[in-house]
Amino acid sequence: MKIFIDSADLDEIRQAFEWGIADGVTTNPSLLKKAVDKRVSKGESLDLKSYITQILETAGKTPVSLEVTETAAKGMITQGLKIYEMFNAVAGNVNIKIPVNPAFQNDDVTHFDGIQAIKTLTGKGIPVNCTLVFTPEQALLAAKAGATYISPFAGRVDDDLRKKAEMKFDKTDYFSAEGTIHEDMLLEDNGIVSGIDLVAQCVDIVTHYGFPSEILAASLRNTRQVREAALAGSHIATLPFSVIRDMLKHHKTYEGMKLFTNDIVPDYVKLTK
Ligand code: E4P
């Protein structure tokens, strides 16, 4: 499974690439705002074009998702083309992030505008990351429209299930991939019992029909979700920096380090240093 870093924070992105474990970057408007606010709060003035250029250079040949902010097909296509023209020349690694459905509510007229934008941009050879996917059906339509990446939002599914059940939780708390019984009821959203269940069902659909789209498990909040996304066969997982850091931690590893360090034979060190 490829690992993308889910961040617009240049320091985090640089670190992940230095460690050699990042295969790409995903950003979204909220992540970009967080990164910009952090710099501005330190009194730094920020030239957004040069900042994004540095992210692209850091990612090298690996894909970087930059999201549109427009919500109608025409606007998303125009903005997607502009983002691609402006930034893809830097390192040839830009993909355009398009919401699967940019409507704000059920009776909006813009439901298929995301699908239209995906179809048009991919038709021009521009890779697209289809974002805000919450059902396997949305993933199927995104795959049919030609999305390069399809991003099911696992953590937000778990949030939604827990919130509707009025459970107390922290966003990083593990939520069982197999589903949770709460007050004698299986928590589910139209047959989806967890965020990882959504990821797994999306993987099954693209695999079953041989779509070239890759499933990019998004909105992952803890390391066990990363493991489960990998076991579900997700092609990619995009991870916040904190989750990447947590992936290496284990108390027995620390204990083992202490034990080995206590047993070091000084002559061995002399010989090998
Ligand atoms: C990445 O592509 C998504 O935008 C991101 O993973 C969303 O994560 P969140 O639900 O933690 O905000």
Concatenating the DSSP letter of every residue in 100-157 gives S---SSTT-S-TTHHHHHHHHHHHTT--EEEEEE-SHHHHHHHHHHT-SEEEEBHHHH
* pLDDT tens digits, 83-105: 999 999 999 999 999 999 999 99
Nearest-angstrom CA–CA distance, 102 and 166: 28
Residue 152, token pair as written in the block: 């099911």
* pLDDT tens digits, 118-146: 999 999 999 999 999 999 999 999 999 99
All structural domains of the chain, each given as residue ranges with its CATH number in brackets, are 2-272 (3.20.20.70)
Average pLDDT for 194-221: 98
Residue 194: its pLDDT value, please?
98
Token pair 């995903």 is found at 26
Residue 273: its pLDDT value, please?
95
Mutate which of 3, 27, 28 for ligand 1 pocket (most atoms within 8 A of beta carbon): 28
**Dihedral sign, Cα of residue 208, residue 210, residue 213, residue 215:** positive
CA of 34 to the centre of ligand 1 (A): 13
Residue 150: its pLDDT value, please?
99
Residue type, 69: T
Nearest-angstrom CA–CA distance, 123 and 77: 11
Mutate which of 158, 238, 243 for ligand 1 pocket (most atoms within 8 A of beta carbon): 238
Using CA positions, which residue lies closest to atom 12 of ligand 1? 219
Residue 186: its pLDDT value, please?
97
Residue 248: its pLDDT value, please?
98
Using CA positions, which residue lies closest to atom 6 of ligand 1? 219
Contact 27, 67 (CB under 8 A): yes
Runs of H (alpha helix) within the chain: 10-19, 29-41, 48-59, 73-91, 113-123, 136-145, 154-164, 195-209, 223-231, 241-246, 251-262, 266-272
CA of 221 to the centre of ligand 1 (A): 9
218 lines ligand 1 (CB under 6 A): yes
258 is catalytic: no
